[in-house]
Structure 1
Amino acid sequence: MTVTIPTKTSAEIIYPDSDGKPMSDNTKQFELIVTIQGGIDALYKDNENVFVAGDLLWYPVEGDNKTRQAPDTMVVFGRPKGYRGSYQQWLEDNIAPQVVFEIISPGNRLGEMFKLFKFYENYGVEEYYVYDPEDNELIGWVRSDGQLNYIESMEGWVSPRLQTRFETASGDLEIYRPDGLKFLSYVELSRQMEQAQQQMEQERQQMEQERQEKELVQQKADRLSEKLREMGINPEDI
């Protein structure tokens, strides 16, 4: 009798889409994350090969579901836009996010921030920016010679990849696009849109008023011409 001995197969490795941690610890941190992610996404809205995500788990190593991080914002040049439950690098032509942002919250510990830095340095991030809203402090690193090197002055710094400019002199982090437009929150964008609509409505009303005034002037001119003709006078001879 032939006995079939079952072979042992390795269990499929699951890469969870969530690490159970909150996206942010307070409203200010959340607003900054959304503004930065949305601003960069809008900047590259017409480039299908720039993927921008916020708080998305990044797994850099196939077969390892423990080595992972969820940057507050990450930018990947060379990968298409679209839905992802997580960023599994080996399924993305092995392209690591080139730009990463982290917004510090009161719950962040120095040891945790150091681990984040080493993770981003080890796995190929080219530009790493950290902002502390409480102290209005922006620090950054840019890759050269295979490692992330500290940027001495961030005021007015222009990202090599994004070509965005960073300012903190106003007391808050301000990011400017290459065309000079500032990254705005949804509320700021909504107010700006309302102002633009109000200005358009004012201009429309002014044009309508000018049109009506011209019509009145023309009507008066027509009545005057008619009276002159009744008197036997040709208005064109005057």
Structure 2
Amino acid sequence: MTIAQDKTRVIYPDCDGNPMSDNTKQFRWIVVIKENLEILFADNPDVFIAGDLLWYPQEGNNRIRQAPDVVVAFGRPKGDRGSYRQWEENDISPQVVFEILSPRNRLKEMAKKLKFYDQYGVEEYYIFDPDRLDFHGWLRNPDGTLGVIEQPENWQSPRLGIRFELQDEQFTIYHPNGDRFLTPTELAKQSESQRQEAESQRQRAEAAEERVRELEARLRELGGDRDNEET
């Protein structure tokens, strides 16, 4: 049996049997980060973003894998995937990874993840613990290794352009334009508010046009009255 034939027999499961999140707080942050990044790069067809997606970096080995809470791969097209099989993605490894901690996460587990992301080419790695309000980051150094970001509490991602702020016991992420990352509920309310404002502007414009038409009609009437008086 050749190596190529052996590789075709390997099955790469789309699920590792682990839950996406352990609690509502962890799930909310995963959704907020993933969805806001989707919005940020909505007009760029070559930025792939996913949540809780298994990443297989090596063809032929389904045991080497991780499922980042949020993953961003520049240079890869948007679209649905059952897993991220790097050899099918022009061998491009995701450049940015987020992990949102839960009480179930252990130091040994996170150390293994850091080693994996370091080994397989992640450029930026961020960990946020919503219970302890701890935020940490790693950035790939010129020597090719992931190095700790010394002041992550006020840090701008080189790849994403977003900014992280941790102060006054509050963690906030900002878009490059300064807008705060919003929850899906806040985004929906914002969209509805914008829709209502647009509708109000439309109604005001129609009312103004109607007043102009009424004024023009009145002026025509006045002009006709003068003509009648002069004859």
Q: State the secondary structure of the residue aligned to 2:197.
A: helix
Q: 1:84 aligns with which of 64, 81, 84?
A: 81
Aligned equivalent of 1:182: 180
Q: Quick check: which has more Rg, 1 or 2?
A: 1
Aligned alpha-carbon RMSD (Å): 2.2
Aligned equivalent of 1:142: 139
Give 1:153 deviation, angstroms: 0.9
Q: 1:164 aligns with which of 162, 182, 186?
A: 162
Q: Conserved in 1, the CA contact under 8 Å of 2:6 and 2:60? A: no
Aligned equivalent of 2:198: 200
Q: Percent identity of the aligned residues? A: 51
Alignment of 1:40-119 (within 5 A): 40-119=37-116
The CA deviation string for residues 135-182 of structure 1, in whole angstroms up to 9 with x for no partner, is 332210111122211111123311111122112337543322333343
Alignment of 1:24-39 (within 5 A): 24-39=21-36
- Return the TM-score normalized by structure 2: 0.86
- Return the TM-score normalized by structure 1: 0.84
Runs (5+) with no aligned partner, structure 1: 1-8, 234-238
The CA deviation string for residues 91-141 of structure 1, in whole angstroms up to 9 with x for no partner, is 323222111000111221222222221221222211100111123322101
Amino acid at match of 2:117: Y
Aligned equivalent of 1:191: 189
How far apart, in 1, do the equivalents of 2:218 and 2:90 lie? 75
Going from structure 1 to structure 2, the CA distance change for 1:192 and 1:67 (only over 3 Å counts) comes to same
Give 1:10 deviation, angstroms: 5.7
Structure 1 runs (4+) greater than 4 angstroms displaced: none
Q: Conserved in 2, the CA contact under 8 Å of 1:39 and 1:183? A: yes
Count of matched residue positions in the alignment of Structure 1 and Structure 2: 225
Going from structure 1 to structure 2, the CA distance change for 1:195 and 1:119 (only over 3 Å counts) comes to same
How far apart, in 2, do the equivalents of 1:47 and 1:214 lie? 44
